[in-house]
Amino acid sequence: MTQRAFPILFITATRIGDAVLSSGLIRLLADQIPNARFTIVSGPLAAPLFAHVPGLDRVIVMEKGKGKGHWFKLWNQVRHKKWGLVVDLRGSGTAYFLRREKRAVWKRNTGEPMHKVVEAAKVLKLEGDPPSPHLYITPEVQALADQLLVPRLGEPTGPILAVGPASNWVGKIWPIERFAQTAQQLLGPGGALAGGRLLILGGPGDGRMVEELRMASARGRYVDLTGKVDLLTAYAVLKRADLFIGNDSGLMHIAAAAGVPTIGLFGPSDERRYAPWGPNARAVRGPRTFEQFLAVDPDLSQAIRHMSDLPVATVVRAAKALLAEVKAAKDAAPEVVVEESAPEATVEDAAVTPELQPVLEDAAPDADHEPAEAPAPEDTIEADRT
């Protein structure tokens, strides 16, 4: 007997970093509700991240319009279906004007700064460890990524140091010459990744920025994919890296989600909210706190190279320490025994799974009635810089 599909409308962030940090919720829902069918709403930059989500019906690319026009347009696109669940991580209020069985809507945190992964989990009222970011790729994407990393005849086949030297704002960019110096110390003789290759990643507009990195690397010892691969291919490539070092950016969060040991470089952004997530991820900053950067640049909008006070030695030391921790943990890990999996849950089972039972707010009594006019929900989520 074919089970009824469970349609989920998932409204996530516009920016790549926030979209990655909330992606664990999609995996949780996909695992807990086997017949889930997803319609995912995202901004144009982050939308490609969700191309291979299981049970995907549609990705709606929402571009900001005049006033709140983009929310009216979205409402018109999704109002004709009755949703099993609406998850709104933008806090827009759209869920209150749609026919749905359940809803989970982001509300602004007024307390102490909270990491975005924890904040996303609280939207579903999850207890315990929040679901870690996760991106879905196909075997074909991974095969393409592996092919990009195949060394040519005579080139080294050692460890891979991946770097993300760009960011969306000049204030968060560590000087490119320091990336080059860091790579030389880690990949050079006696370095933690001695004899390895440098993998350079970035967007289409970052080519000129990384030229100094290419020039500082020995011929055949770097792979420059700047502007040459999409987000999911970058994710697949990073799965093969031994270490990632990069500015606070969407790429940094993609690296951490890929499971590569990740060093995130911070200055005028708050690592309490945006540190790379995972047991093998670390945030590193210079002597100044986030609050001290705010005192100099209250709106975080000035073209100031705030990251100049972060020394190469600090980053190299953090990288070596993280690699040593990862190796020690791997050496100490017991042999994994594969056990027979439990029977697959049905949709009816999933609806009462303990992890999700407290999550979802019951629909209001009038939820099945469409408003006379399209709503004008507020786009209240705090602007992020990832």
Asked whether residue 168 carries a pLDDT value surpassing 70, the answer given is: yes
Asked whether residue 367 carries a pLDDT value surpassing 60, the answer given is: no
Res 339: pLDDT: 55
The beta-strand segments (E) located in 274-329 are 281-285
**Which residue did the predictor score with more confidence, 136 or 371?**
136
pTM recorded for the entire structure: 0.87
Asked whether residue 338 carries a pLDDT value surpassing 70, the answer given is: no
CB atoms within 10 A of CB 305: 13
The beta-strand segments (E) located in the chain are 6-11, 36-42, 56-61, 83-88, 100-105, 160-164, 197-200, 222-224, 243-247, 262-266, 281-285, 361-362
| Residue 84 in tokens | 């099993």
- CA distance linking residue 221 with residue 157, whole number of Å: 9
Res 22: pLDDT: 97
CB atoms within 10 A of CB 108: 9
Could you tell me the CA-to-CA distances from 145 to 142, 241, 257, 335 in Å, in that order?
Answer: 5, 11, 16, 29
- CA distance linking residue 288 with residue 293, whole number of Å: 7
Q: What is the pLDDT of residues 240-281, one digit of tens each?
A: 999 999 999 999 999 999 999 999 999 999 999 999 999 999
363 pLDDT band, cuts 50/70/90, is very low
Q: What is the pLDDT of residues 120-140, one digit of tens each?
A: 999 999 989 999 999 999 999
